[in-house]
Structure 1
Amino acid sequence: MVVSPEFQLTVGQEFPDVMSCRRAIRNTAIACHFEIQTASVQWVANTVEERLRENPQCKPKEILEEIHKAHGITLSYKQAWRGKERIMAAVRGSFEEGYRLLPEYCRQVERTNPGSIARVYGNPDDNCFRRLFISFNASIFGFVNACRPLIGLDRTLLKNKYLGTLFLATGFDGDGALFPLAFGVVDEETDDNWVWFLSELHELLEKNTENMPRLTILSDRRKGITDGVEFNFPTAFHGYCMRHVSETFKKEFNNPVLVNLLWEAAHALTVIEFETKLLEIEDTSPEAVMMECIRRQLMTWFNERREASMQWNTILVPAAERRVQEAIERARGYQVARANEAEFEVISAHEGTNIVDIRNRCCLCRGWQLYGVPCAHGVAALLSCRQNVHRYTESCFTVATYRKTYSQTIHPIPDKTLWNETADHETADQGQADEIKAQMIINPPKSLRPPGRPRKKRVRAEDRGRVKRVVHCSRCNQTGHFRTTCAAPI
């Protein structure tokens, strides 16, 4: 058997200590396929340490394949995972060290991104972590000056050594993409923590809210969110997030036909169309180092979208431009009768008559008011009086406004090893620098991950607003099953 020179032992070979000797004997035994056919977690960690330092994103499955190919032994997935975690803890630091770095990290965020808000709160009794709130100045500027006045609230559980919940507040840019506004991390999801997060969000927007149209906030309307919105945003419209409504509806009524009808009702533009879908439902229903990764991702998004917008040579963003072109195509089949300089009557063989007011930018179909882009009836009226359709589109859909959305930059934050050096350069008095560092100490929260095997995959909604194809049985002509599974009597 040919053994690699690095695993060969020679007579009289000396080792600096006992551990080095044991490690060399173990590596040789494994390489020669002696009786030892398994490896310890520490051996796995030492074997893949160099690769993990070069590529921290390496998956445990890749580690399994690499060790099997190099040494001919088979590890369990858990061994590979634990070996990786041991090395990553040495590379990026422990979770406990990460919590202790939070106060300085917040100061670095505000230093490198002036105008940003970064705050961390601990328990005054034992300094255990309680809350973290971060919003970058680029996000604040983009939302206030260029995004639609619409905020979505959501949360997700953190699956680290210490439990916690990530709160998110997002807007929407002119092209319909999610626009991150603010993030919060709390030790647990409670009504008080939601009220706190919304109070921080209100303080963030307080100076600009008066200059903005009425805000619309979407969430699952749990009690803490509802109380926080009523207290901090009393004039805002607080609506249900359809994704959460759909998931709850699906749990109660496990019928894809009903879920599709629910989404069709949500997309209805008129009261009559909405009530028609509800009647269909009644007739059909038989029964009724996370924050940093986020910052880096945001920085990348801002740069990519900023550069992409520089290549656009249209007046509107691509999504709005496509909607306008589709409306122009549909408008060619309409007849237009003009009442005065602003009012028009648009007649269609299939859709009946719709009244359009180009001065107030509204149509009887409500498509213009809802989407902010002229509907086909509005386009027909505008073209009949030789008006520029693009001028009657909301400003948030223009390329100029989109570029303004991402005009600000989320700046990089230096490595944590340079934080003290940077702070000392910027602080003239060394005593003052030491006083700032000693202001707050944050310890990990008291809640640990419970024992037991965690869920591997997050349970995701299957519909997400997509209307699924309804299947029909060719035997009994009913919906919901095929001929092969039909249970109707012959």
Structure 2
Amino acid sequence: MQAWRGKERSMAAVHGTFEEGYRLLPAYCEQIRKTNPGSIALVFATGQENCFQRLFVSYRASIYGFINACRPLLELDRAHLKGKYLGTLLCASAIDADDAMFPLAFAIVDAETDENWMWFLSELRKLLGVNTESMPRITILSERQRGVAEAVETHFPSAFHGFCLRYVSENFRDEFKNSKLVNIFWNAVYALTAVEFEAKVAEMAEISQDVMQWFHRFPPQLWAIAYFQGVRYGHFTLGITELLYNWALEGHELPIVQMMEHIRHQLTFWFNERRNMSMGWNSILVPSAEKRISEAIADSHCYQVLRANEIEFEIVSTERTNIVDIQRRVCSCRRWQLYGLPCAHAAAALISCGQNARLFGEHCFTAASYRETYSQIINPIPDKSQWKEQGEGADGGGAKADIMIRPPKTRRPPGRPKKKVLRVESFKRPKRVVQCGRCHMLGHSQKKCTLQILQIDG
């Protein structure tokens, strides 16, 4: 205990105290707005003592990148902080063209409540409304907690709000604890059509009738590829979870201003690194999209192409026939629409009429779009010794720079906080479940079966 308190004192000597961090928040927000014009930085206090309640930050560089170049897809998640005054880190993150996380806005609140989620989504909606005239219909992924679901419905009523597949699959696995059932479940998840999905559901129902009750709690329209109406571009799980956890873990011993600076430094590094990396690309598409389209082109050679007219094609294989419309950019297999890049059937049709399949993907997957995403700069913020003590409040509300903000009432229990290791499971399908053809038990093949065979004398 004494060693831990000694560490706290040494950290305070280097980074300042937690109490000073809250006191500096109004001036810090003013510095963000001053050094990065167009950014949003708001802090709110509550009660007569001006206790900290909420902090919202979104940099202009991130806002510009999301609106002008990212796919219209957002992830919502949170991480609980373990610092002296606890709190929760909320985040809305986009995904760039090369499938990396692109944090758009984040907040620190005194506690995770329905009210705070409602406020966070309200601020997010305002910043998007101010910066774009015609906001596209957004797809949002989360764990769909009650507070999040209500906030999305209130502030993004036209958005497609789906479950994170990891959350759904973990719930299913914990509910049934049957590896064969889980394996069929994943086949259902990735089924592209309703017919394929319902066939897998029927298989599961034969094993357990309780599956149908589970589907009432988790409607397939909110997660299944065959039914979900939003476009996820092949992105089905919350990638922001691990990032938020790492931010919370790395910053739990830091005052709130230093923690926000740690996040800003991370964003600045990403913007610079990814901007420089993209300058060396010579392809039309980003590397991950280039790999997928190359695989589709390679697979397209085994199909027979029948051209119906200028835009419609019939793609024939030994398994089935698919219809491709290159003008509407759709294929009856639905993969082109769901993933935003031509499938093998579409590639076959495009190649047959002399078109470059790489030009028929969504613009958000192009190298040019990626460079646009990171084209803006997150400017540095001066040392706190240079901040003015007096200042004006933000246009969007929040405390003025001369307001004294005190720490929230919540306090961490005494003693050293426990560190929990985050284990993010693999999001790929589980391995195929082997079933013995002799004893029909799971986990081994007929060749390795140890069941004794009874011999009947003739």
TM-score (norm 1): 0.76
Deviation at 1:386, TM superposition (A): 0.5
Match of 1:391 in 2: 359
**1: CA distance, partners of 2:438 / 2:147:** 51
Q: Is residue 314 from structure 1 mapped to residue 289 from structure 2 by the alignment? A: no
Match of 2:386 in 1: 418
Deviation at 1:286, TM superposition (A): 8.2
1:450-469 to structure 2, matched below 5 A, reads: 450=413, 454-469=417-432
Pick closer, same or farther for the CA change 1:446–1:371 going to 2, 3 Å.
same
Q: Which amino acid aligns with 2:288?
A: A
SS of 1:193's equivalent?
helix
**1: CA distance, partners of 2:380 / 2:429:** 38
SS of 2:81's equivalent?
strand
Q: Which amino acid aligns with 1:404?
A: E
Name which structure has the greater RCO, CA cutoff 8 Å, separation 6+. Answer: 2
Match of 1:356 in 2: 324
Q: Which amino acid aligns with 1:385?
A: C
Is contact 2:76-2:93 (8 Å) kept? yes
Task: Identify the match of residue 191 of structure 1 among 111, 114, 136.
Answer: 114
1:247-266 to structure 2, matched below 5 A, reads: 247-266=170-189
Pick closer, same or farther for the CA change 1:487–1:459 going to 2, 3 Å.
farther
Deviation at 1:157, TM superposition (A): 0.4
Match of 2:147 in 1: 224
1:233-252 to structure 2, matched below 5 A, reads: 233-252=156-175
**1: CA distance, partners of 2:368 / 2:51:** 46
**1: CA distance, partners of 2:400 / 2:116:** 27
Q: Where does the alignment leave 5 or more consecutive residues of structure 2 unmatched?
A: 212-257, 393-398, 454-458
Which piece of structure 1 moves more, 312-321 or 289-298?
A: 289-298
Task: Identify the match of residue 371 of structure 1 among 336, 339, 348.
Answer: 339
Match of 2:226 in 1: none
Is contact 1:150-1:215 (8 Å) kept? yes
Is contact 1:299-1:410 (8 Å) kept? yes
Match of 2:234 in 1: none
**1: CA distance, partners of 2:115 / 2:400:** 29
Pick closer, same or farther for the CA change 1:349–1:475 going to 2, 3 Å.
closer
SS of 1:167's equivalent?
strand
Is contact 1:243-1:465 (8 Å) kept? no
What stretches of structure 1 move > 6 A for 4+ residues in a row?
A: 485-490
Pick closer, same or farther for the CA change 1:406–1:257 going to 2, 3 Å.
farther
Please list the CA deviations of residues 137-196 of structure 1 after superposition, one character each: whole Å capped at 9, or x if unmatched: 111000000011111111110011112111110111111111111001111111111110
Q: Which amino acid aligns with 2:322?
A: N
Is contact 2:128-2:135 (8 Å) kept? no
Match of 2:38 in 1: 115
How many residue pairs get aligned? The number is 400
Q: Is residue 447 from structure 1 mapped to residue 410 from structure 2 by the alignment? A: yes
Identity, in percent, stands at: 59
Deviation at 1:310, TM superposition (A): 0.6
**1: CA distance, partners of 2:278 / 2:293:** 18
What do you get for the CA RMSD once the two structures are aligned?
2.7
SS of 1:248's equivalent?
helix
**2: CA distance, partners of 1:268 / 1:176:** 22
Please list the CA deviations of residues 99-148 of structure 1 after superposition, one character each: whole Å capped at 9, or x if unmatched: 11111111111111111000000003221110110001111000000011
Match of 2:376 in 1: 408
Deviation at 1:418, TM superposition (A): 1.9
SS of 1:118's equivalent?
strand
Which piece of structure 1 moves more, 398-407 or 255-264?
A: 255-264
Deviation at 1:472, TM superposition (A): 5.3
Match of 2:138 in 1: 215
Pick closer, same or farther for the CA change 1:210–1:471 going to 2, 3 Å.
farther
Deviation at 1:475, TM superposition (A): 7.7
Pick closer, same or farther for the CA change 1:316–1:87 going to 2, 3 Å.
same
**2: CA distance, partners of 1:143 / 1:201:** 12
Which piece of structure 1 moves more, 78-87 or 307-316?
A: 78-87
Is contact 1:256-1:468 (8 Å) kept? no
SS of 1:129's equivalent?
strand
